[in-house]
Structure 1
Amino acid sequence: MKVYTTQPFQAIYSLFEHEYLGYLFESFVVQVNSKGQLTLQHQNISAKNADEFSSRLDANDFKLIALVDQIQQEAVVKKFSVKKMSAVDFFLKVYDPEKGDKLLQEKITQHIQVRMGKILELLRDKKTFIMGKDGEPTWKQVNIAPERATVLFNFRRNSDNTHYFPSIRYAGEKLHFQYRNASLICYEPAWLMLDDVIYSFEKAVDGKKLQPFLNKKFIVIPRSVEENYYRKFVAPLVESFDVDAKGFTIRSERYEPSPFLTFSEIKATSLPAILSNGTSENKPEKGDNSRILFNLSFKYGDYEVETQETKRVSVNMEMKDDSYVFHRLIRNVHHEKNFAGELQKRELEVKDGKAILDRGDAFAWLSSNLKDLEELGFTVRQSEHSAKNYFIGEVSLNIGITENNDWFDVYGIVHFGEFEIPFIKLKNHILTKNNEFKLPNGQIAIIPEEWFAQYIELFAFAEGNETLTLRKHHMALVNDLQNGNLATITMSRKLEKLREFETIEDYPMPAGFIGELRPYQKAGYNWLQFVQNYKFGGCLADDMGLGKTVQTLAMLQHRKENGAGAASLLVMPTSLVYNWMNEAQKFTPQLRVLNYTGTYRDKSVAQFEHYDVILTSYGIARLDVELFKTYYFDYIILDESQAIKNPDSNTSKAVRELKSKHRLILTGTPVENSTMDLWAQMSFINPGLLGNQHFFRNEFLKPIEREKDEQKTRRLHALIKPFILRRHKSQVATELPEKIEHTSYCRMTEEQEHAYEETKSFYRNKILTNLEENGPGNTQFMLLQGLTKLRQIANHPLMTDPGYEGESGKLKEVLRMTKNVVGKGHKLLIFSQFVKHLSIIRQELDERGITYAYLDGNTKNRQEQVELFQTDKSIQVFLISLKAGGVGLNLTAADYVFILDPWWNPAVEAQAVDRAHRIGQQNKVFTYKFITKDSVEEKILALQNRKIKLVTDLISTDETIIKSLSKEDIDNLLS
């Protein structure tokens, strides 16, 4: 029957019993007559139509209606049925006495009980009825008792058994509920209906504890199961409810809590189970597979309780003289919170009595806070179940460094509580990052985490296993240790002076030096004397063309005039031997120079006594290493020292085996491909400066190249800075004429563009598919191959396809500009990375009758080609491969430089330009970089500016750039 909203109506809630779901409520609106009485005219109300009746509904009605909707059988079927089926079929299947789904029944009961409990709480001021058997919602009115009833659980123990029964009181009176047709209409918590009144209870009694007694006076517990029953049922009951006992004792006890902080080691795999209790991790997990779990508990008298136990009362059962004593402990929650707060103040975040820290952090925290905690009354202890016995006392370290003749002595003592351990005993632990150190008493001490960062370099660079010594060239490390208050330093006045110096002393020029050094070259000469004076190896890393050769010759002449006891060895690429001989003859004619090269060289060190300087090549140094090892040189100098950049090459190993009083390297590019280039060269001039290869790779190379770690980059620079002198042309050679740079963009021809797009599509699809499937690691070679082909096509498709018959836009432009430059009487250097490209240019120049000099890696008469270009006015063009012409060439006759194909590292191109733009050049140098428009060349140029951030002039990388390209970078390059 429809209820009219234009006339008075009332919302009511009607209780009925479902065959399977137990007691439920339905919500109705009932029409009210003129006397204010409910009529038989009623209508179901739900969330779907509640708004129609909102004029006479309050907020609680809307909550009630929503909850009532959720417990109706249709809603239950919809929520819990996997398949679509009728309510009848669902309930018959789920509640079948033999084949029913017990687990699903429990879930449904839980769903109903939670909502029934909430509904009953909201019904206190609502009209509530029992539904009639005919579905009449207002059959009988019931009331919700305004106060809560209390339950007393009674135990009567006698010689044979124990009787157990509950008694209920309401408003001070005993409530007789047994054998009175009472019903439990909700179990969790209990709501009891008796004589048309519905009662709720204090302390949220579980209805299952009352259900057996609705029609039973008591339950009998036989002596045979008494102890187990008392422990599992009576003890928890005593904790949570009022209990009246006869035949055994319940004692309420109060004590002041004593805090206990227990720690134990846990594996990372155990974390999910622990954290599911509500504890969150304090920090993200580190590499160590184990963590430390702190557990806060409290001792009351002889009883210990866990913090996460929310009960204010804790009960322990004791058997005594054929009876039982229940010790009912009243906890002091306020004091417990204060103790937890003290941990919080000290940055141990305790949640539900637990905290988890990384193992290193945990023991660092214990070391810092143990004394304070003990003063506050904490007992800090290790779990009895721990596999290891950890030391948790105070940890301290004292290090002293004292200068000796040619090295520093390092001594140190570590204090682990009462134990004094020589610091050197921790060497392998620090280097292998093993933070467990076994003490003499068998305990495991955890080495503080910060020591690994603070002292790893000290142990990596120091020598010796019984005592530690550092070489003098580790001065920067010693300074850092002192500045960080990590060591006490004692050193001589001379070395103290070195630490404080601001300017290098000016040394007189040798009498036998012919000519005059420019001011910056004189400064370089002074610097060479400075590092020699302190017995350090040096790296003269001036830009190409600034006169590293002449500065070195001046220093060698000074050695001769000041009684150098032996000859000096100069090792270089074969192509530079002639240049060194010429320069020595020009500037230091008194130096006796031996050219130790060629197949028919005299393999005898006896002849070295008659010379001041021995010139040889890297190849011969490698072949004659056993011979050279028998001589103790005054200086060993490596020119273009990047030749030993691969520390595992035979050449690199050979020169490191040679013996000398001093060592020096000369290079314009200390790093070409990888930071490891630096290690190889610095380890030659100052052995041990950067530790061994394994250490350097892990501590510097990987963090710098893979992770772009700026702190590690700065650290590396600090270590090498004292031994490197590097000046830029722009800084010092102000007398050089202007260098003017242009970028010339060339359009591809139609045929060229077709070849380019076809190749680009092929590699783009191949690379991006491989990138998705296998990641960047397996794509590098394919990417390099694809980019190389695209660069070659951007130059001229003939380079990849011998059958190509079309033209190249870039070649047209290069030939046009070459004709103009040559026609005006200028001299021109043309550089390409590809010998194939030079061959195409040669053919075109031959056809046009333009004469040229030529140099690539296979050219035998290298110096002859240089002289030809420098002196013969008819030779106006020099074709040079970028790799072969990057070092040791003085081509100041040229005032135009063409770079035909750009690559990642601008330093390589800069070296090429420096063949012309160097000391001795009188004219402006015009550089043209040829870029094919809309090709990978243009994108490489953009990437040079965006991607290659040179951390310093020393650390620039080339091939390593390709390893760091992101998917987006690759996508852009191939778009």
Structure 2
Amino acid sequence: MKYIPHDYQSRAKDFILEHPKAGMLLEMGLGKTVITLTAIDVLINELFEVDRVLVIAPKRVAEDTWTREHAKWDHLRHLRVSKVLGSPEQRRRALAADADIYVIGRDNVVWLVEQYLKQGWPFDMVVIDELSSFKNPQAKRFRALRKVMPKVSRVVGLTGTPSANGLMDLWAEIYLLDRGERLGPTLGAYREKYFRPGARNGFVVFKWEPLRGSREKIEAAISDICISMSAEDYLKLPKRIDNVIPVKLTASEMQQYKTMEAEQLLHIDDEDVVALNAAAVMTKLLQIANGSVYSAEGNVVRLHRAKLEALLEIIDTTDSPVLVFYSYKHDLAAIKEAIPEARTLDGPRDIADWNAGKVQVLLAHPASVGYGLNLQEGGHVIVWYGLTWSLELYQQANARLYRQGQEKPVIIHHLIAEGTADEQVMRALQDKDTSQAALLAALKERRTP
């Protein structure tokens, strides 16, 4: 296919060429992959600045998106791409292959760095897709990657959600670009400059509140190496219809939910321990709302079929393929039992079959489709069987169908069990407030008679 870039894509490509350290904060659907591949081609074959490029990506994106985009566009097909995936021996063979671009899953970053501890780092350019997955400075993959970044002449960080959980996420992401030049050499220095302690338990601070004006100062500090683009400003997106489908539990089912809810909320005894167990309590409440819950022994206890029946009704009355997002393994098991022909998204073959129209019901966990997968060719209907508290996962998952290239209006159904925690999560997603403070407020609200 002939690549005719939009003006914003040409500007984004030029930004990479002009900035050896480039943070590409581009929203979903803007074409981050083809923009970056085009810049890589210029750097290798026209400017002769780069020889070997390492692309670090979420596993499914590494398996599918980069090679598919490479094969899709005529101007990129001459690039040699090696997928560093599979067993250790398969990965070593892929690294030994003569290629321009080496694509590896982010879960193998530690392994990769260890391969080259006793020899020279062979990559002069690193592309991190998705940069926000390196937001935790304590994570092994961050600590491994920071060791080799001084040996890299060019780095590109790609993400549409650089601070989905707050400004604190930015330090580690920007550090991998500039090694602390703009936001400070340590997380402690960053916190001291831009934040003040918020919720705490003794000397342990659970939440840091930005000082007044911090956002503007942080944005100014990184503006010379980061470019931000919104899909709303540049794309003609399909019509989107968000549909909340109330799911009513019977009186006995609702009483059972209320009893279990009360028992779970008893775990939150006072302000000091709220931050430690709030997420676990919310997870349990959302499990119950979906229809099943894990017992203390790890067994699945089924409580109701209300959501399952609502899902079956949607599928029966929809002539289009349906993409269903589930939350827990017991959700997946219940859906597959009720819809044996449903396909679980496990790999590239499932993606290809879906886009070819061969799959009527595709089941996926939002975390498994969050980045880079293009599913818009296979359908235009989404059902959220269970909600996620993560705004980033929610937006990324919806963008698998609601993106440029989608030819039909996208319908997003949300199954909401009335009177349950589902309602508060839905409200938080609509308000785009899924912070820890909102989570705690939701639980406090449920404790209030």
Range of TM-score over shorter length: 0.7 to 0.9
Specify every segment of 5 or more residues in structure 2 that has no aligned partner in the other structure, as ranges.
199-206
Matching of residue 845 in structure 1 with residue 339 in structure 2? yes
Aligned partner (choices 899, 908, 925) of residue 384 of structure 2: 899
* 2:305 alignment partner, one of 775, 791, 808: 808
- Match of 2:323, SS state, is strand
> Which stretch of structure 1 is more off in the superposition, 922-931 or 590-599?
590-599
- Pair 1:784 & 2:285 matched: no
Determine the C-alpha separation between the residues in 1 that align with 2:114 and 2:301: 52
Say if 1:607 and 1:879 are closer, same or farther in 2 by CA, change over 3 A.
Answer: closer
Paired with 1:803 and 1:685, the residues of 2 have a C-alpha distance of 47
AA at the equivalent of 2:275: Q
User: CA separation of 1:603/1:808 partners in 2, compared to 1, >3 Å: closer, same or farther?
Assistant: closer
Q: CA deviation at 1:592?
A: 2.2
Aligned counterpart in structure 1 of residue 256 of structure 2, from 748, 752, 755: 755
Counterparts of 1:594 and 1:946 in 2: how far apart (Å)? Answer: 42
CA displacement, residues 697-747 of structure 1 (integer Å, 9 cap, x when unaligned): 33335469533533222222221233222322222111x321221111111
SS in 2 for 1:722: coil
SS at match of 1:883: helix
Look up the match of 1:298.
none
Superposed CA offset, 1:298-342 (max 9, x none): xxxxxxxxxxxxxxxxxxxxxxxxxxxxxxxxxxxxxxxxxxxxx
Distance 1:718 1:797 in 2: 48
> Which residue in 1 is equivalent to 2:365?
881
Provide the secondary structure at the position in 2 that maps to 1:886.
coil
User: Counterpart of 2:260 in structure 1: which amino acid?
Assistant: T
Within 2, Cα distance between the matches of 1:910 and 1:539? 20
Q: Is 1:970 aligned to residue 443 of structure 2? A: yes
* Structure 1 gaps, min length 5: 1-512, 949-956
Distance (Å, rounded) in 2 between the aligned partners of 1:868 and 1:753: 40
The answer as to whether partners of 2:183 and 2:190 remain within 8 angstroms in 1 is yes
Cα distance in 2 between the residues matched to 1:604 and 1:819: 48
Query: For 1:555, what is the secondary structure of its paired residue?
Result: helix
The residue aligned with 1:921 is 406
Post-superposition CA distance 1:453-483 (Å, at most 9, x none): xxxxxxxxxxxxxxxxxxxxxxxxxxxxxxx
Which residue number in structure 1 is paired with residue 173 of structure 2?
A: 681
Give me the whole-angstrom Cα distance separating, in 2, the residues matched to 1:720 and 1:565. Answer: 24
Instruction: Identify the residue that residue 572 of structure 1 maps to in structure 2.
Output: 57
Residue 90 of structure 1 is matched in structure 2 by: none
Within a 5 Å distance, the mapping from 1:436-447 to structure 2 comes to: none
Alignment of 1:374-385 (within 5 A): none
Q: CA deviation at 1:803?
A: 5.2
Residues 927 and 700 (structure 1), Cα distance of their counterparts in 2 relative to 1, 3 Å cut: same
Aligned to 2:99: 611
Task: Give the residue type in structure 2 aligned to 1:883.
Answer: A
**Rounded Cα–Cα distance in structure 2 between residues aligned with 1:927 and 1:913:** 8
Letter in 2 for 1:749: T
Q: Where does residue 738 of structure 1 map in the other structure?
A: 239
Query: How many percent of aligned residue pairs carry the same amino acid?
Result: 23
Query: Is 1:832–1:881's contact at 8 Å kept on the other side of the alignment?
Result: yes
Pick from 717, 724, 729 the counterpart of residue 219 of structure 2: 717
**Where do 1:596-745 residues align within 5 Å?**
596-598=84-86, 599-601=88-90, 603=92, 607=96, 610-628=98-116, 630-631=120-121, 633-658=123-148, 659-673=151-165, 675-688=167-180, 689-691=182-184, 692-702=186-196, 705-734=207-236, 736-745=237-246
CA distance in 1, matches of 2:372, 2:431: 31
Q: Which amino acid aligns with 1:837?
A: D
Match of 2:152, SS state, is strand
- Supply the distance in 2 between the matched residues of 1:652 and 1:645 (Cα, whole angstroms): 8
Contact 2:289 2:417 (C-alpha < 8 Å) held by counterparts: yes
Name 1:322's counterpart in structure 2: none
What is the aligned counterpart of 2:291 among 796, 805, 822?
A: 796
AA aligned opposite 1:757: K
Deviation, structure 1 residue 607 = 5.0
How big is each residue's C-alpha offset from its partner over 1:732-788, in whole Å with a ceiling of 9 and x where there is no partner?
111x32122111111112232011111122234453xx21xxxx2312344333322
Query: What's the CA shift for 1:566?
Result: 2.2
Larger radius of gyration: 1
Q: Find the residue that maps to 1:678 and give its secondary structure.
A: helix
Question: Does the Cα contact within 8 Å between 1:830 and 1:877 map onto a contact in 2?
Answer: yes
Q: Deviations over 1:62-107 (max 9, x none)?
A: xxxxxxxxxxxxxxxxxxxxxxxxxxxxxxxxxxxxxxxxxxxxxx
Between the two structures, name the one with larger relative contact order (CA 8 Å, sep ≥ 6).
2
1:898–1:929 Cα contact (<8 Å) kept: yes
The residue matched to 1:633 in structure 2 has which SS?
A: coil
TM-score by length of 2: 0.86
Q: Secondary structure at the match of 1:726?
A: strand
Against the structure 1 CA distance between its residues 596 and 972, is the aligned structure 2 distance closer, same or farther, given a 3 Å change threshold? closer
| 1:819 aligned partner | 316
Indicate how the Cα distance of structure 1 residues 741 and 602 shifts in structure 2: closer, same or farther if over 3 A, else same.
closer
Asked if structure 2 preserves the Cα contact closer than 8 Å seen for 1:752 and 1:807, the reply is yes
1:584 paired residue number: 70
- Aligned alpha-carbon RMSD (Å): 2.7
Cα deviations across residues 359-410 of structure 1 (Å, max 9, x unaligned)? xxxxxxxxxxxxxxxxxxxxxxxxxxxxxxxxxxxxxxxxxxxxxxxxxxxx
Post-superposition offset of 1:606: 9.4
Q: CA shift at 1:869, angstroms? A: 1.7
Deviations 1:180-214 (A, max 9, x none): xxxxxxxxxxxxxxxxxxxxxxxxxxxxxxxxxxx
* AA at the equivalent of 1:527: F
Q: After superposition, where does 1:30-429 map in structure 2 within 5 Å?
A: none
Q: Does 1:516 align with 2:4?
A: yes
Q: Residues 571 and 906 of structure 1: is their aligned pair in 2 closer, same or farther, counting only changes over 3 Å?
A: closer
Q: Is the 8 A contact 2:53 2:124 kept in 1?
A: yes
Matches within 5 A, 1:522-561: 522-532=10-20, 537-560=21-44, 561=46
Partners of 1:810 and 1:699 lie apart in 2 by 47
Counterparts of 1:644 and 1:594, CA distance in 2: 23
Q: Determine the C-alpha separation between the residues in 2 that align with 1:943 and 1:674.
A: 15
Do the aligned residues in 2 keep the contact of 1:853 with 1:877 (CA within 8 Å)? yes
* Cα distance in 1 for residues equivalent to 2:223 and 2:26: 14
Q: Which residue of 2 aligns with 1:218?
A: none
- Which letter maps to 2:349? E
Q: Corresponding residue for 1:486?
A: none
CA distance in 2, matches of 1:778, 1:750: 33
1:746–1:668 CA distance, 2 compared to 1 (3 A): same
Paired with 2:430 and 2:381, the residues of 1 have a C-alpha distance of: 24
Match of 2:202 in 1: none
Q: In the superposition, relative to structure 1, how do residues 565 and 731 fare at CA in structure 2: closer, same or farther (>3 Å)?
A: closer
Which of 344, 349, 365 aligns to 1:854? It is: 344
Distance 1:672 1:737, change over 3 A: closer
Larger helix fraction of residues: 2
Cα 1:918–1:664 shift into 2, 3 Å: same
Partners of 1:708 and 1:679 in 2: how far apart?
Answer: 13
- 1:960 is displaced (CA, Å) by 6.5
CA–CA distance in structure 2, aligned partners of residues 711 and 621 of structure 1: 36
- The residue identity in structure 2 corresponding to 1:581 is T
CA distance in 2 between partners of 1:605 and 1:937 (Å): 45
Write the distance in 1 (CA, Å) between the matches of 2:338 and 2:94: 51
Q: Is residue 2:396 matched to residue 1:911?
A: yes
Give the Cα separation in 1 of the matches to 2:309 and 2:250: 10
Distance in 2, matches of 1:863 and 1:521, equals 27
Shift of 1:827: 1.2
Which whole-Å CA distance do the structure 2 matches of 1:671 and 1:974 have between them?
30
Q: TM-score, normalised by structure 1?
A: 0.41
Cα distance between partner residues in 2 of 1:876 and 1:779: 43
